[in-house]
Amino acid sequence: MKDFLKNPAIPLNADDMVLDIKQKGVDMRIGLDIASLAYKQQVQKIVLFSGDSDFVPAAKLARREGIDFILDPMWNHIPPDLHEHIDGLRSVCPDPRKSH
């Protein structure tokens, strides 16, 4: 990279590139959105497409505020602590484990 920055005429090819995608803070932002919607009573129901136990605090808060909290883990396993804090569980996409 240093050589390229010094001399941008150096040719680059696909092997010189590395895709570095990092997902930072997405769960936190979704949790804040859930909290905001719940506190402001802007919704009656929230459907979360995830199975991540990071959402336990958001699910608990929403339910305490009277919001129905439905989880769609898209057929993935969900941890017991998350299952304990939801009002419903439903996967609407076809189950990839079943042959058609």
pLDDT tens profile 71-81: 999 999 999 99
Q: Which two tokens stand for residue 13?
A: 């090819």
Q: Which two tokens stand for residue 43?
A: 């919704």
- Average pLDDT of the chain to the nearest whole number: 89
Give the span between the Cα atoms of 63 and 48, in whole angstroms.
13
> Looking at the DSSP assignment, which residues form a beta bridge with residue 29?
none
The 3-state DSSP class for residue 89 equals strand
pLDDT tens profile 20-57: 777 788 999 999 999 999 999 999 999 999 988 999 99
Residue that is written with structure tokens 């991540």 in the block: 52
Chain CA centroid to CA 40, Å: 22
Neighbour tally for 44: CB within 10 Å: 8
Q: Which long-range contacts (CB under 8 A, 24 or more apart) does 17-25 make?
A: none
Question: Confidence class of residue 85 from pLDDT cuts 50, 70 and 90?
Answer: very high
